[in-house]
Amino acid sequence: MPPRRPAITRRRFLTSVGAAALATGLYTWRVEPHWLEITYRELRLPHLPSDLNGRTLVQISDLHIGQQVSDDYLLSAFARVRELRPDFVVHTGDLVTFDSPSVQTQAEKVMADFPTGRLGTFGILGNHDYGSNWNLTHIAHANAAILARAGCLPLRNTLTESHGLIFAGLDDYWSPNFAPEKVLRNLPHNRAIIVMSHNPDTCDLPGLWDDFQGWVLAGHTHGGQCKPPFLPPPLLPVKNKRYTAGAFAFGPGRQVYINRGVGHLLQVRFNVRPEITCFTLRPA
């Protein structure tokens, strides 16, 4: 007869469970928050100029420069973007996690190495760029200036054109400067358009998107940062809980892509790796 296996004792079982919990905790804290993923996908736009077919656009979001995010980690992320040699680069908000003026000094140093696109580089502000309670406009102005000095044109309820592609930027949904009608009601017809909005909840605002055909690039959610297998993330800072991460249709001919972000508010991620998205532009 084969030898009998020893029974699993309660002590051995609890030891195994404790070891697994410790390993998961260390992974969630030390590994995944810095395990950056470059996501590749096509971005199909109506009316895309033929000269832009096959060009690349890199989306960076939610750097959260500050005490919680390693400068060296962000600089390594910037280096990976430069290796992609993107034609366009966009940053979709939350440049910093503001808790003191020293954060902006830190941001100046980090953003001196920010990667730029060969054809254009554009950015918007997020809620954390407005300081506490998301309403300190002087802090937002200073953060916009940091973007500009890094070669990233801030779009605050404004639009611009680069090589036949329209970039429109909304100021943050929770900020006192949120005025989407200034830009969305002035979008040109029959043009390729990319709208940048930090918070994807703006996609559900009534009466503003009816004539829009194209893509919105968003961030803000971090994908929930921690996602149990087969379950939705338990914490999402949006009203529409389907807006987690990735691509979603929000109307006929209208889609939003929600980037999981590079940084974090707390150094924990599980099943939601940080992300930089590299889009290849294609005609719809």
**Is the pLDDT higher at 232 or at 23?**
232
Segment among 80-89, 194-203, 225-234, 240-249 with least mean pLDDT: 225-234
What would the pLDDT profile of 23-59 be if each residue is shown by its tens digit? Answer: 566 778 578 999 999 999 999 999 999 999 999 999 9
Q: Is residue 1 part of a domain?
A: no
Q: Is residue 4 part of a domain?
A: no
Could you tell me the CATH number of the domain that includes residue 104?
Answer: 3.60.21
Q: What pLDDT band is residue 19 in, cutting at 50, 70 and 90? A: low
- Determine contact, residues 242/220, Cβ cutoff 8 Å: no
Q: Is residue 210 part of a domain?
A: yes
pTM: 0.91
Q: How many structural domains does the chain have?
A: 1
Q: In the predicted model, is pLDDT for residue 1 greater than 50?
A: yes
Full residue range of the structural domain in which residue 209 is found: 10-283
Q: In the predicted model, is pLDDT for residue 230 greater than 90?
A: no
Alpha helix ranges (H) inside the chain:
10-26, 71-84, 102-111, 137-149, 181-184
Q: Is residue 197 part of a domain?
A: yes
Q: Is residue 279 part of a domain?
A: yes
